Amino acid sequence: ERERLARLRHTPAVTIDGQKIELLANIEQPDDAPAAVKAGAVGVGLFRSEFLFMGKTGNLPGEEAQYQAYRQALDGMQGLPVTIRTIDVGADKPLDKGHKDNYLNPALGLRAIRWSLADPAMFRTQLRAVLRAAAHGKVKLLFPMLAHVSEITQTLAQVDLARAELDARGVAYGPVQLGAMIEIPAAALMVRTFFKYFDFLSIGTNDLIQYTLAIDRADESVAHLYDPLHPAVLRLVADVIAEGHAQGKAVSVCGETAGDVTMTRLLLGLGLRSFSMHPAQILAVKQEVLRADTRKLAPWAQQVLQGEVPAA
């Protein structure tokens, strides 16, 4: 089976009815890039940059070290685009494993963009490193866990400020597309507003499911209720994808459901054309894509959304 899949590495991901599907990789370290290319990824859809920072409390990588890491990821991808998500620590990804969060509810606390906006100088250090790396390849910048317009405008103001700081230093930087994660139900419900500010959106189903269903994604005792097929979750995902088509802007899914072969047909039926996943899943998902006919999947997916047929 693995050998058979390996032969698909260079096969373009196109459905029976000719829909081109973008299969991207999720990576955690620059070293992961070569494996992503080898698996046939056409880019990185999610570089979880927090992994550069975790376990390094007190000695966080500065602008230069981050710049080198992002360049290394770009080099590893051999000219393919790399989507760098700004640091998403907190909750199940503490900066320092030995240090226990005192917050009552870390998943609802100071994590991801909230953490970055709480320390704008540190945030801009990362932004400058990303902008500089963008002078050497195709870089997209992705922000996690946005929910409020005020967070969006603060974030974009920090990007402008980071560019101004580089200008003042006379340091070269490149253009970046700006995108937001849709992983809080509030964000999914105001997707039009998000499209006013961003070039592309990426749906983080891991957190979107967690926050929609109030199920801690790391809590085994309620894992049976963590359901990617819950109609409320599917409705939010479907609406974001549909709005992307309406606006002619890119929408991707980068949560675990994107790499789950039992979800591929449904996501294609809902109109998804860009999937980002662990590199090990890419060929198996590609096989599903090659067998899919979106003309048949689309009406079926609408029925699933209405809860009229089982999703399997």
Per CB under 6 A, does 32 bind ligand PEP?
no
Per CB under 5 A, does 256 bind Mg ion?
no
Amino acid code (one letter) for 181: M
Structure tokens, 308 = 């009229």
* Dihedral sign (CA 149, 229, 243, 47): positive
Q: Which member of 37, 234, 254, 285 is catalytic?
A: 254
Task: Please give the Cα distance from 33 to 181 (Å, whole number).
Answer: 21
* Dihedral sign (CA 238, 243, 246, 247): negative
Per CB under 6 A, does 207 bind ligand PEP?
yes
**217 has binding-site annotation:** yes
The binder of 244, among Mg ion, ligand PEP, none, by C-beta within 5 to 8 A per type, is none
Hunting for tokens 């088509």 — which residue is that?
245
Per CB under 6 A, does 151 bind ligand PEP?
no
Per CB under 6 A, does 281 bind ligand PEP?
no
Per CB under 6 A, does 45 bind ligand PEP?
no
Task: Please give the Cα distance from 285 to 274 (Å, whole number).
Answer: 12
Q: Please, which of residues 213-272 interact with ligand PEP by CB under 6 A? A: 254-255
Task: Please give the Cα distance from 230 to 185 (Å, whole number).
Answer: 13
* 201 carries an active-site annotation: no
**48 has binding-site annotation:** yes
Per CB under 6 A, does 274 bind ligand PEP?
no
Structure tokens, 159 = 């990007």
Per CB under 6 A, does 206 bind ligand PEP?
yes
Of 218 and 246, nearer to ligand PEP (C-beta) is: 218
Torsions phi, psi of 292, nearest 5? Answer: -95, 145
Q: By CB under 6 A, which span of 149-157, 205-213, 289-297, 302-310 interacts with ligand PEP?
A: 205-213
Task: Give the orientation angle of helix 231-247 with respect to helix 205-213, to 10 degrees.
Answer: 130
> Which secondary-structure segment (H or E) carries 275?
strand 274-277
Contact characters 161-200, Mg ion, x per CB under 5 A: ----------------------x-----------------
Task: In angstroms, give the least distance from the CB of 9 to Mg ion.
Answer: 28
Task: Please give the Cα distance from 95 to 113 (Å, whole number).
Answer: 14
Of 125 and 205, nearer to ligand PEP (C-beta) is: 205
Per CB under 6 A, does 179 bind ligand PEP?
no
The binder of 236, among ligand PEP, Mg ion, none, by C-beta within 5 to 8 A per type, is none
* CA neighbor of 166 nearest in space, from 120, 133, 199: 133
Per CB under 6 A, does 279 bind ligand PEP?
no
Per CB under 5 A, does 207 bind Mg ion?
yes
Per CB under 6 A, does 49 bind ligand PEP?
no
Per CB under 5 A, does 50 bind Mg ion?
no
Q: Which of 30, 40, 204, 228 binds Mg ion (CB under 5 A)?
A: 204
Collect all residues with Cβ–Cβ distance below 8 Å to 135 and sequence separation of at least 6.
Answer: 172, 173, 174
H helices present in the chain, as ranges: 2-6, 33-38, 63-76, 112-118, 120-133, 149-169, 185-189, 191-197, 205-213, 231-247, 264-269, 282-290, 294-305
Site of interaction with ligand PEP (CB under 6 A): 46, 48, 88, 183, 204-207, 254-255
Q: Which residues are annotated as a binding site?
A: 48, 85, 183, 206-207, 217
Site of interaction with Mg ion (CB under 5 A): 183, 204, 207
Q: Which residues are annotated as a binding site for phosphoenolpyruvate?
A: 48, 85, 206-207, 217
Residues labelled catalytic:
254
